[in-house]
């Protein structure tokens, strides 16, 4: 979603300055708050308290607020107890505040060319009057939207931030993540779930996907750090003519690569890539375009030939630069190696791919590519593996990560930061001590989930 300057500011404030108010009936995002004003067809909604609490944020809230731009600091001073941000149809964004001082809010709006409109105790802040008119003309509101109410009810109590997105946005988010959708043939006469194919999703005629009712997320404080949880239930429609092919969230899997990836990684991403994973994406991630250049017409097919099955990308400490290793399980390893040669030959001369020497090997049907030969040897070797890495084991336990996920990511922050300092990166003196970050997805018959935990030791 594209945000105007005022929207970006309000969204940043909602995330950066969220305090420890309850996420219950009287907390941010409650049905008796700005949700009574926001149009019911809003694309997304974020609600947060402006009560910055260092204890709830384990120091991260105060740290981030110190580095926020002037707009954030100014609005925080006039916003009142809560800031809500709504993204309306057409990428129109509006913030809602309960100003402690109307005169100060008016001065802020004049300084930054914002428009204000009062709605009872709330004041809407937008970049133009047309956006405010959308709010004024709304006949129904989020508080009346059964799906919004259901979404807010799914979130845990005591949240720092609460967020909501409608079903189309939830589906778009899932579709934009490689390895989170799979396709399957539908047997004739079988029952299935169907929704119209989302515009931009590269699917053939007769392809259906599961429909999400909504996406809801909450950021909460725990004794050991911060926890983000997101939920997206599926709600299928039945049609008389089944599609030949259905696109649905990928089923959870048990990672086998945690028993093969060497211990001591600084960071790792592990996903299960189905056939055609990149062809299913509505658009390629920007990072891939930066890596392979602007001419990406045939890139999805090439990536699908190269990457398949359980695939992991991980980084380890090495000199003179960090070692990066890719492990994947293509159907044809010889074809994958040839595809890699083609990608390297066509990569821009100034890209990272053109500057590093890549080592490769086929090990037990797996295609392994690394920036060092040591990376190949250690993957093949019998040393300690990720499954027994103390940092990974502790982070996994802290987050409650199950054996089966739809993919996971882990970063050993406490070891990454010193290496950045050695590389010349100046780290802020007041940066809180962060031990690790771990994130993983889940899937049941009725719901997709996402969990991320930042482990911050108590000071």
Do both 314 and 412 map to the same domain?
yes
Do both 89 and 11 map to the same domain?
yes
Cβ distance 89 to 82 under 8 Å?
A: no
| pLDDT score of 419 | 87
Do both 180 and 158 map to the same domain?
no
Do both 61 and 137 map to the same domain?
yes
* Domain termination residue (choose one: 249, 266, 289): 249
Do both 158 and 122 map to the same domain?
yes
32-36, 41-45, 73-77, 208-212 — which is least confidently predicted? 208-212
Copy the structure tokens of residue 353: 């791919």
Q: Which domain holds residue 179?
A: 166-249
pLDDT mean over 51-76: 68
Structural domains counted in the chain: 3
Mean per-residue pLDDT over the chain, rounded? 81
For 79-134, what is each residue's pLDDT tens digit? Answer: 777 788 999 988 899 999 998 888 989 998 998 899 999 999 999 999 999 999 99
For 151-170, what is each residue's pLDDT tens digit? Answer: 999 998 878 889 999 887 76
Copy the structure tokens of residue 88: 């309306």
pTM of the predicted protein model: 0.83
Do both 127 and 185 map to the same domain?
no
* Domain termination residue (choose one: 249, 273, 289): 249
| pLDDT score of 4 | 41
Do both 100 and 225 map to the same domain?
no
Provide, rounded to the nearest whole percent, the portion of the chain with pLDDT above 70. 78
* Domain termination residue (choose one: 233, 249, 265): 249
110 phi and psi, to 5 degrees?
-65, -40
Check pLDDT > 90 for residue 411: yes
CA torsion angle 32 37 43 49 (round to 10): -50
Do both 324 and 392 map to the same domain?
yes
Is the pLDDT higher at 294 or at 442? 442
Do both 291 and 394 map to the same domain?
yes
- Reduced to 3 states, what is the DSSP secondary structure of residue 187? coil
Question: Which region holds residue 142: left if phi is over 0, alpha if psi is between -120 and 50, else beta?
Answer: alpha
Do both 330 and 268 map to the same domain?
yes
Do both 432 and 344 map to the same domain?
yes
Do both 302 and 331 map to the same domain?
yes
């Amino acid at each position: 979603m594209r945000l105007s300057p005022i929207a970006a500011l309000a969204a940043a404030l909602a995330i950066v300055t969220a305090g420890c108010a309850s996420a219950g009936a009287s907390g941010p995002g409650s049905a008796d708050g700005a949700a009574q004003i926001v149009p019911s067809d809003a694309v997304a909604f974020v609600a947060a308290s402006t009560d910055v609490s260092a204890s709830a944020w384990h120091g991260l809230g105060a740290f981030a607020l110190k580095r926020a731009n002037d707009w954030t600091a100014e609005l925080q001073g006039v916003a009142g107890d809560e800031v809500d941000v709504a993204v309306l149809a057409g990428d129109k964004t509006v913030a809602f505040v309960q100003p402690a001082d109307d005169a100060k809010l008016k001065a802020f709006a004049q300084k930054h060319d914002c428009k204000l409109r009062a709605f009872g105790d709330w004041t809407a802040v937008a970049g133009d009057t047309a956006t405010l008119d959308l709010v004024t003309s709304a006949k129904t509101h989020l508080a009346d939207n059964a799906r919004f109410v259901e979404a807010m009810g799914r979130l845990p109590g005591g949240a720092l931030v609460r967020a909501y997105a409608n079903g189309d946005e939830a589906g778009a988010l899932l579709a934009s993540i490689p390895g989170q959708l799979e396709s399957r043939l539908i047997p004739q006469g079988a029952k299935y779930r169907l929704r119209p194919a989302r515009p931009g999703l590269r699917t053939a005629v007769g392809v259906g996907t599961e429909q999400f009712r909504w996406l809801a997320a909450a950021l909460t404080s725990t004794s050991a750090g911060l926890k983000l949880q997101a939920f997206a239930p599926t709600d299928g429609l039945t049609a008389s003519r089944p599609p030949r092919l259905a696109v649905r969230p990928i089923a959870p899997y048990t990672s086998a690569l945690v028993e093969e990836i060497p211990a001591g990684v600084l960071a790792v991403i592990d996903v299960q890539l189905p056939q055609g994973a990149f062809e299913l994406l509505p658009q390629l991630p920007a990072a891939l375009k930066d890596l392979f250049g602007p001419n990406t017409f045939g890139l999805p097919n090439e990536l699908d030939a190269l990457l398949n099955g359980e695939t992991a990308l991980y980084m380890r400490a090495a000199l003179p630069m960090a070692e990066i290793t890719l492990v994947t399980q293509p159907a044809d390893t010889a074809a994958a190696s040839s595809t890699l040669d083609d990608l390297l030959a066509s990569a821009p001369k100034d890209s990272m791919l053109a500057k590093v020497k890549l080592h490769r090997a086929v090990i037990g049907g797996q295609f392994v590519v690394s920036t060092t030969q040591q990376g190949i040897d250690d993957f093949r070797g019998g040393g300690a593996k990720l499954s027994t890495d103390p940092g990974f084991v502790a982070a996994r336990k802290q987050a409650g990560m199950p054996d089966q996920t739809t993919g996971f990511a882990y970063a050993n922050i406490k070891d990454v930061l010193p290496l950045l300092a050695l590389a010349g990166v100046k780290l802020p003196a007041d940066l809180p001590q962060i031990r690790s970050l771990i994130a993983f997805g889940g899937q049941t018959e009725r719901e997709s989930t996402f969990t991320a935990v930042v482990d911050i030791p108590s000071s």
